[in-house]
Amino acid sequence: TVYCTGRSVRGGLASGDSRPETIEETAEQVTALGGRGIAVRVDHTVEAEVEALCQRIRTEAGKLDVLVNDIWGGETLHELGLPFWKQSPAKARLMFDRAVYTHIVTSRYAVPLMLERDRGLIVEVTDGDSFGYRGGVSYDVTKMAVIRLAFAMSRDLRRTNITALAVTPGFLRSEEMLDGFGVKEANWRDAVKKVPDFIASETPSYVGRGVAALAADPHVHRRAGRVVASWTLAREYGFTDLDGSQPHWAEYFERTYGKPYTVADDAAYASWMGGSIEIVCPDWPVD
């Protein structure tokens, strides 16, 4: 059972953008694939609406196993390539509200459902599995904040059986990206003539299968607080994209650009561990 939430509903684009996709369409796809999709119109920047959603899940389903925080809404807001002193503060603030605050407030009301059974998985969807610069200050801070959020939540959850982590797709072949390149999924390779790196792209289902594999892994807690890429999960769990391929952005990058691909490995996370607050106040947080 999958609750598909958002602001874009059939009969009116409540999100205020121009995308035609709706939560009803997403729910129908879930049902068509053998699950049970439930569309719920929720503005995740509105605390009361998020709280009502979680109350509904408790009433109807009685539990929550997986929370996927993939709330973004920033495609028209990021200003990649512009130095921060030329970027719009208003756009930056809206991006933070949509893509970071929403994750915090949704986790705030969803995780208590998991705590009732002391089990669950929280997935923060981000961009990139490294701590490198992402080409624009607002965008960089937003996507790194999501990675940090997974880590910070994992510290609060360290005495539970609930796992918080972050997941990134590679070069995502989303509907919006396909439209931007003037192609469809059936002929997406035509866009490679304009953007050669698109040859290493992947469908949204690829990272989705990664999330499903994590949810089914009884040892997923070993990844608590970390960020992991779709291609890494594909190799480990043995799944493919819809066409049977296994896109691997890191290998493509190294092969194409002749530079090592940096990743947030154990060494990168080492300085995040053992913070002074955890030493001075080892019992924090207090339930």
Q: How many domains does the chain have?
A: 1
The pLDDT of residue 96 is: 96
For position 271, which CATH number holds?
3.40.50.720
The pLDDT of residue 75 is: 83
Cβ-based neighbours of 285, under 8 Å, separated by 6 or more = 156
User: Which of 15, 23, 4, 19 lies closest to 46 in space, CA to CA?
Assistant: 15
DSSP lists the bridge partners of residue 4 as 39
Q: CA 54, CA 281: separation in Å to the nearest integer?
A: 31
Domain membership of residue 25 (yes or no) is: no
Reply yes or no: is the peptide bond before residue 285 cis, omega within 30 of 0. yes
Residue 136 has pLDDT above 90, yes or no: yes
Give the pLDDT mean for 105-112.
Answer: 98
Domain membership of residue 103 (yes or no) is: yes
The two structure tokens encoding residue 188: 């997406």
Domain membership of residue 211 (yes or no) is: yes
Domain membership of residue 70 (yes or no) is: yes
Give the confidence band of 278 by pLDDT, cuts at 50, 70, 90: confident
Residue 173 has pLDDT above 80, yes or no: yes
Domain membership of residue 12 (yes or no) is: no
The pLDDT of residue 34 is: 97
Q: CA 231, CA 161: separation in Å to the nearest integer?
A: 26
Domain membership of residue 32 (yes or no) is: no
User: Which of 150, 248, 272, 167 lies closest to 215 in space, CA to CA?
Assistant: 167
The pLDDT of residue 282 is: 87
Lowest mean pLDDT among 15-19, 35-39, 234-238: 15-19
Q: CA 203, CA 247: separation in Å to the nearest integer?
A: 10
85 or 16, higher pLDDT = 85
Domain membership of residue 169 (yes or no) is: yes
| Structural domain harbouring 238 | 42-280
pLDDT single digits (tens) 65-106? 999 999 998 888 888 899 999 999 999 999 999 999 999 999
What does the H/E/C string look like for the chain? CEEEEECEECCEECCCCCCCCCHHHHHHHHHHCCCCEEEEECCCCCHHHHHHHHHHHHHHCCCCCEEEECCCCCCCCCCCCCCHHHCCHHHHHHHHHHHHHHHHHHHHHHHHHHHCCCCEEEEEECCCCCCCCCCCHHHHHHHHHHHHHHHHHHHHCCCCCEEEEEEECCCECCHHHHHHHCCCHHHHHHHHHCCHHHHHCECHHHHHHHHHHHHHCCCHHHHCCCEEEHHHHHHHHCCCCCCCCCCCHHHHHHHHHCCCCCCCCHHHHHCCCCCHHHHHCCCCCCC
The pLDDT of residue 15 is: 47
pLDDT single digits (tens) 44-64? 999 999 999 999 999 999 999
pLDDT single digits (tens) 177-217? 999 999 999 999 999 999 999 999 999 999 999 999 999 99
Residue 16 has pLDDT above 60, yes or no: no
Domain membership of residue 159 (yes or no) is: yes
Average pLDDT score over the chain:
95
